[in-house]
Amino acid sequence: MWLSISGILPRLTGDMSRSNCMIASAKMLPHNIAYLKINGFPEPAICASRVAAAMQSLNGASSIIYDLRDNHGGDPHMVALVATYLFARKTHLNDIYSPRSNRTEQFWTMTPPPTGNRLWNKPAYVLTSSRTFSGGEEFCYDLKALKRATLIGEPTGGGAHLVRKRWIDDNFTIGVPIARPINPITKTDWEGTGVEPDMRVKAEDAMAVAERIAARRGLRR
């Protein structure tokens, strides 16, 4: 889990550059709604600057939609970095506990917060699907526990525990759980159950629903 990536950093850097650090789209929609589709949470050492640039491009929005319907997870440090833009002060998001080492790593939003960030008090919506998994689910779970975003879509996949592959012979492997998240508010996680959205709709309809709600809320402001 807490392994150095220095040996594979050059290859990862190239892969992330080609995939735009998993940022599929960052744009402004009608009614001054920001839209960020991010399909994974890559290493901050590689992608922090690109994510920061994407968030800066959305900074003037009156609300923001995070599309995680195809997000299969990644680095919890990047989960924390992306969540940082939704808070004005240091906020405890999640812990990851490793029974083998009896070690707990805490994850908080960045301090100090990003300079000039204006999204911290704006309505936030997160689109989910059954494909939303692992770190994508953590982002959803953390924000739901903190009541900082409205989740719209389908229950997520239910993969919370960190697993390491072990070979049992020349042909087969098994996944061995090595750590688990513990939310500081709920004291549990989403393993096997997934994250239940606040508004359950078909994944393909989630964007239209979120955009409609955000636009109506914007008109009332």
Give me the CATH number covering residue 100.
3.90.226.10
* Residue in 2, 179, 183 with CA at minimum distance from that of residue 97: 179
Q: How many domains does the chain have?
A: 1
> Is residue 153 in a domain?
yes
Structural domain of residue 53, as residue ranges?
A: 20-220
> Is residue 43 in a domain?
yes
- Residue 121's identity, in one-letter code, is N
Instruction: Give me the pLDDT at residue 135, please.
Output: 96
Instruction: Give me the pLDDT at residue 172, please.
Output: 80
> Is residue 10 in a domain?
no
Tokens 């992306």 identify what position? 82
Instruction: Give me the pLDDT at residue 17, please.
Output: 58
* Ranges of the chain with pLDDT below 70: 1-18, 220-221
Instruction: Give me the pLDDT at residue 116, please.
Output: 94
The whole-angstrom separation of Cα 10 and Cα 32 is 38
> Is residue 93 in a domain?
yes
Per residue in 100-156, pLDDT (tens digit) is 899 999 999 998 889 999 999 999 999 999 999 999 999 999 999 999 999 999 999
Which tokens is 135 given?
């770190």
Instruction: Give me the pLDDT at residue 8, please.
Output: 40
Kindly report the pTM of this predicted structure. 0.88
> Is residue 33 in a domain?
yes
Instruction: Give me the pLDDT at residue 167, please.
Output: 79
Instruction: Give me the pLDDT at residue 15, please.
Output: 55
Instruction: Give me the pLDDT at residue 47, please.
Output: 95
- 205 contacts: CB under 8 Å, gap ≥ 6: none
> Is residue 1 in a domain?
no
Which tokens is 88 given?
């004005």
> Is residue 14 in a domain?
no
> Is residue 68 in a domain?
yes
